[in-house]
Amino acid sequence: MKLFVKPFAEITIKSRPVRRQFILQLGRNIRNVLKDLDPGVRTSGEWDNIDVVTSLTDPVLQQQVVERLRNLPGIAHFYQVLDFELPDSMQEIANRCAEHYAPLLQDKTFAVRCKRVGKHGFTSMDVEREVGSLLRRQCGAAGIRLNRPDVEVRLEIRHRRLLVEFNRQEGLGGYPLGSIEQTLVLMSGGFDSTVAAYQLMRRGLLAHFCFFNLGGRAHELGVMEVAHYLWEKFGRSHRVLFVSVPFEEVLADILGNVDNSQMGVVLKRQMLRAAEKIADGLQIGTLATGEAISQVSSQTLINLSVIDKATDKLVLRPLVAAHKQDIINTAEAIGTAEFAKHMPEYCGVISVNPTTRARPGRIAREEESLNQQLLEQAVARARFVTVDKLLEELSEDVQVEMVSEALPGQVVVDIRHPDESEDHPLTLDGVEQIQLPFYAINSKFQELDSNRQYLLYCDKGVMSRLHCHHLLHEGHDNVRVYRP
């Protein structure tokens, strides 16, 4: 299979050195995301496109190639091509086009679109006119319609090569991941922080994830899962870090020593201070959050200004002027909404009449009573894991009962993403099955019949082990892992 990848339009207006840098980075990213499917995948870049050649013939694997490229930052669109030596006649060009398009043209209107590079004895319009006429006669088409045809027959003549294009796919746009700088994203796992991370990744920034654990194991697991999802879908061309910071003692210090109305601002400032220290250790120059103007009390312009003074680093806020519904719509489109809807909440700071106009002097006086050593200790105990190994490493020390056979009377709970379950359904004779995606199981499991025995199932056994361990810890003793 051969593909032509067209880079994002903004890349094409860069200076020659920058454009070359971006194209080379995009080529590396393409190889990185496809190498586990085809170790021999090849890319070759030109000024306006990247050629991708893979030896894969399995339609399932080919579709995985397409899906990964659709979600790779930096690509405007791409399409498959049939590559031939340029024939000597228009009839032979039409025959090559018919190899793919003939079944699609029956009783349909169509138009031929031709691009041409090099010196030839004909023009692009000559090709469109003559090949169109030949295809209409030999493929049973309803006719030629230049404006909004049913089918567009696309081809490119590049010097002595004929390229028949088909299966065009729209890409994600943006800049290639890693072509800009790195940033540390403060992640809560909700709508805002996940969309902010996506927006930055789409713009080419290498986003590492930083989670401040305020005391909820279920929340930590949920954020780990959505971080892994974002990386796997949009950022798997690079290895990035997930940092989990134990912030319970810092929070308790705030609750015990800060005036109720000032707690929200102080907590955000403490998080930025901790994030700054972590970023310094990783040599990362910027921090990022999912904050939007006045979405909550701590996010007024005055409060954000006071919060920012806790760090010397630039704080990026890609959603600063976004409306909540627009953020939710984006989360729905990229697949993080279901995570956010079922994300366990930990309301660590519930302020009465929280300030919307924090004053630097007042905040400084409130912070004088805090034990800054607790912040240092939290940073020192922070856990760093590469996101690609995150779930696997978490499951290594998890001890749960595993069974290889499901018995009548037991219920197999398929916790895979609905798309995975649909593409590769689990078939078991005589055993009841239900679907309860992993991002919903923590909140929905308690609604199941407590007198039944449940076996959690996923493809690799990682998600099922983690969630089984958590459910057992929560007091549910009727759950095990199913590994056939």
Q: Write the CA distances from 190 to 219, 321, 343, 407, 442, integer angstroms.
A: 10, 17, 7, 38, 15
Residues acting as catalytic residues:
458
CA distance 279 to 463: 29
Radius of gyration of the chain (CA): 27
CA dist 397 and 399 (Å) reads 6
Asked whether the beta carbons of 153 and 110 are under 8 A apart, the reply is yes
Between CA 32 and CA 176 the distance in angstroms is 12
Q: Which two tokens stand for residue 140?
A: 């049973």
| CA pair distance 148, 228, nearest whole angstrom | 41
Least Cα distance to 340 among 247, 236, 435, 227 occurs for: 227
